[in-house]
Amino acid sequence: MEKVADWLQKRSIISPERVALVNGTTNEKILYRTLYSRAAKWAEYMKMKGIQKEDRIALISKNHPVCFELLFACSLVGAVFVPLNWRLSSTEITSLMKDSEPEMILYQAEFEGLVRRLPLPLQAMKLESIVDDVYGRKGLSEPMRMDKDDPWVMIYTGGTTGKSKGVVLSYRSIMANSINTVLSWNLTEEDSTITYLPTFHTGGLNALSLPLLMIGGKVVTAERFDPVQSVDMLNGHGCTIVLMVPTMYHGLMDSDEFKAASFPKMKVFLSGGAPCPGKVYDVFKAKGIQFKEGYGLTEAGPNNFYIDPGRMKKGSVGKAMMFNEVKVVDDRGDCVGQGEVGELLLRGDHLFKEYWQMPEATSAVLMDGWLHTGDLAKVDAEGDYYIVGRKKDMIISGGENIYPQEIEHCLCEHPSISESAVVGIPHEKWGEVVTAFITLRKGKTVTSTQLKEHCLETLGAYKIPKHFYFIQSLPKTHVGKVNKTALLESIPTL
């Protein structure tokens, strides 16, 4: 088996005095030599507590430097890092704990009440109570050498359409994603970011944080996103690149602070996690700020594409990155033609290892080395890819294939609309009918008739929503994606 290089230890030697992490709440700066030292101390603590190779270590914590200290500590003892979504109920977290069967759970003090309700016999440690003891220890003297295909992290999916799956990421997949991101996106040690996405999600851990730590850059951890505060934080920390989800961009663009601000060190704002409306592109273009949309999923990286930010190609996620392959296929598995829609398949070392204790689910999406994403895409004449939507979300009405994302983008171009979500509702005659859920911008009004007229300017008549529901807010998953299952369930009560 091929052994893993301890790249954080190497980075602590190469860049010992560079800042690795900044606590966005306290402004504490953690150097690379300190980060590795703390990881080694946590590893020694875990070993003292009897943690062995492939034992799971669960964490309930908001974004904080300790998340990364524990992540790297797990690699030194061979444990599997399992960050849990602290926004879930005790019943939901209990379900994930029963599934992952961790040997230890570490948690921030504010979640003590939640942890006390977990009916599981395991070592539960409050971080604030043990951190001084841990930092006072000597570091682990003999770290374990791991194989590249050994598990390192397990991240649970959102579970909006069924049971949450534990996505097992190996050292190979995490390192491949980081190397591919650094090279394809031209990241350097001079780059820095703020991690707003939660570190229990692949976007918080793997999109920018670990690639930047690998190259020697700076990562600022933020407990929460505030549109006004984010402007000062991005500029104050000299951020050059940042990833946020569309809901964050909506809040940011509406703030007076953003409208008045410039971002002199920012190379590019990235959007991921959900489709981004075209008007976001327009706002950034008007300010002369680079903006691009990405695509990823927990099972693949999450980074898969690169597009030159200066091109500002609306709606495109760009071309495949350096060390991964992409293709779009039809139902027979044959590659589709230019501009045709098919399922997106991905291949590369960045793919996940398996779904935890779910071999059938794993084999259903991993076939012949290709990950079948379940997402629909197309490619243009320049080789740039566009994500059309989820395969399961496609609407078939009167025999026509209709892609909700196209309609959502059109609706969001209307000045009165803040957000939209489009679903298919069963219909006896047409099979399904297009139905839209709408949230309005503050102080704005619009009628269903006006929205239909707006859509007819760019969409075929068969794509126009037959029903419009105006609601206060769209239900979201914990990572900001619209929960369409919840929308469908809400229709009888509206």
pLDDT tens sequence across 370-389: 999 999 999 999 999 999 88
Q: What is the pTM of this model?
A: 0.88
- Segment 76-102 shows an average pLDDT of 93
Tell me which of 1.20.272.10, 3.40.1160.10, 3.30.300.30, 3.90.1170.50 is the CATH number of domain 394-493: 3.30.300.30
Fold of 7-385: Rossmann fold (3.40.50)
Ranges of CATH 3.30.300.30 domains, the chain: 394-493
Residue 120 has pLDDT above 90, yes or no: no
In degrees, rounded to 5, the angle at the alpha carbon of residue 386 between the alpha carbons of residues 179 and 469 is: 120
Both tokens assigned to 105? 């759970």
In Å, how far are 76, 178, 263 from 148, measured between CA atoms? 13, 14, 39
Residue 54's nearest CA partner among 78, 25, 88 is: 78
CATH code 3.40.50.12780 region(s) in the chain: 7-385
> Between the CA of residue 215 and those of 19, 32, 154, 218, 272, what are the distances in Å?
12, 11, 23, 9, 22
pLDDT for residue 479: 64
Residue type, 313: K
The answer to whether 228 and 257 have CB atoms below 8 angstroms apart is yes
φ, ψ of residue 141 to 5 degrees: the values are -80, -30
Q: What is the pLDDT of residue 427?
A: 85
Q: Predicted confidence band at 447 (pLDDT cuts at 50, 70, 90)?
A: very high
- The overall average pLDDT reported for the chain is 92
Other Cβ atoms less than 10 A from the Cβ of 226: the count is 16
In this structure, the number of other CB atoms found within 10 A of the CB of residue 458 comes to 12
